[in-house]
Amino acid sequence: MKDDIGPFDVRRAGVLLHVTSLPGGDLGEEAYRFVDFLAAAGCTVWQVLPLVPTHDDDGSPYNALSSMAGNPDLVDRDTWPVEKPADSGELARWCAEQADWLDPYVEFTALRELHDGSPWLTWEPRLRDRDPEAVASATGSVADRVEELRLEQWVFARQWGRLREYAASKDVLLFGDLPIFVSLDSADVWAHRALFQLDEDGRPITVTGCPPDYFAEDGQRWNNPHYDWEAMAADGFAWWRARIARQRELFDLVRIDHFRGFEAAWHVPVEAPTARDGEWVKAPGKEVLAALVEAAGPGSLVAEDLGVITPEVDALRTAYRLPGMKVLQFAFDGDPDNPHLPAQHDELSVVYTGTHDNDTTVGWWDGLDEDARQQVLELTARGAPSEGSTGMPWALIRLALSSRARLAVIPAQDLLGLGNEARMNTPGTDEGNWGWQAPAGAFGADLAERVRSLVVETGRTGSNGG
């Protein structure tokens, strides 16, 4: 990567594709071939979803067993037998460097396996409360498994590091995703209970969610525990600093999911049947963001500012010069001041046709009424579009690439022209999500050439001259 060009110093194009959605579904050969595709297509950003270990019941990368660990399911098992430390001390040194998050993760995972996957709240009190002697005794009975868990994390770090180096050699930035909240049943909460709003037995006092919106008429109840911001402030937000530093070890850019939660978060009573009954509770946004930006470095964070966005949230984002998000699928409600319309975009932002939470553009288009379709057609028809780019999804792809936003990111499903069957996630539903995978050979030379022609036409080559 050209060291003198920052992520938002030039116009760029990127593709959103999670690692599990690669034809191989892991960090093997297909991941490298996708980097080759991006380079051939003129795209300089690859955006992924969180790379964390997921719960078996839903597979959501936004519901992690650890916010710091890598997902061992992403490890390329074909090369696993040859992944050996260079010397006897290499693995030990790496484990010592990563001990703050690695030790709680391997203890938590080993104990959870001993309890057949039961949440830590159900463990006997001494293990639930992370009593050192009890934890050491229990994990000592499965010492080989503990070491295997450590090795898995080392191999993940090694494989991801090689992929990142390869991407950099092709001038491709890796763009990660950081959920603002963490799962209750996670190593994070188990090991740091004092940093969350929990009762004496570890149960949440209130849970996270969002009010009724575009995605869900009853709002969304996410059930994460809320942070105890006062406790976090006592050590200068050290947990947050460590978390963002870990993400910057992995990524060139990091999106903060549900950024508005740093200004105020939706608190839902534990006993409430839906998220409708929640309320906004203020958070110490400026103090937290100051710590995050300092730890992450300038120009490396992006704010997911979708949903209920107030002037206070906008002021918090702009105070730290964080790019926000524009989603074209949200633009066509008839309001000329809709912030997602291209006329309202600003340079310091990231524009998408849709996100992992939206339908594909083809699926979205199929569901529009005639009035909305007419609005889309009127806007996409302007500017003499390139030959072959007037139908869906290419008309919307071209509109995104033509935006004044410095970065335009297109979901891979849109590049492939896929419909609702390829949707990644439907918010508010528990089944049928996160499973889409591109077929072998999907990202071929013809598609790369088609994308590159639009990238060049719209000046998104990622260089000072483009």
Q: Is the separation of the CB atoms in 435 and 377 below 8 Å?
A: no
Contacts 24+ apart (CB under 8 A), 77-83: 77/26, 78/28, 79/28, 79/159, 80/155, 83/155, 83/158, 83/159
Report the run of H or E that residue 355 belongs to, with start and end.
none
Give the DSSP letter string of 196-258. B-B-TTS-BSEEEEE-S-SS-TT-EEEEEEPB-HHHHHTTTSHHHHHHHHHHHHH-SEEEEET
Q: Is the separation of the CB atoms in 456 and 42 below 8 Å?
A: yes
Angle subtended at Cα 456 by Cα 455 and Cα 458, rounded to the nearest 5 degrees = 70
d(CA 466, CA 10): 8
In the numeric block, the tokens 């710590």 are attached to 291
Report the run of H or E that residue 301 belongs to, with start and end.
strand 301-303
Tokens found for residue 387: 């030959």
Secondary structure (3-state) at 19: helix
Cβ atoms within 10 Å, residue 309: 16
Report the run of H or E that residue 345 belongs to, with start and end.
none
Q: Is the separation of the CB atoms in 45 and 13 below 8 Å?
A: yes
Q: Is the separation of the CB atoms in 313 and 323 below 8 Å?
A: no
d(CA 88, CA 76): 23
d(CA 42, CA 98): 36
Q: Is the separation of the CB atoms in 171 and 44 below 8 Å?
A: yes
The set of catalytic residues is: 257, 304, 357
What dihedral angle (degrees, nearest 10) is formed by the CA atoms of 313, 307, 66, 154?
Answer: -90
Number of residues assigned to the chain: 466
DSSP state letter for 170? T
Q: Is the separation of the CB atoms in 322 and 301 below 8 Å?
A: yes
Secondary structure (3-state) at 406: coil
Report the run of H or E that residue 81 belongs to, with start and end.
none
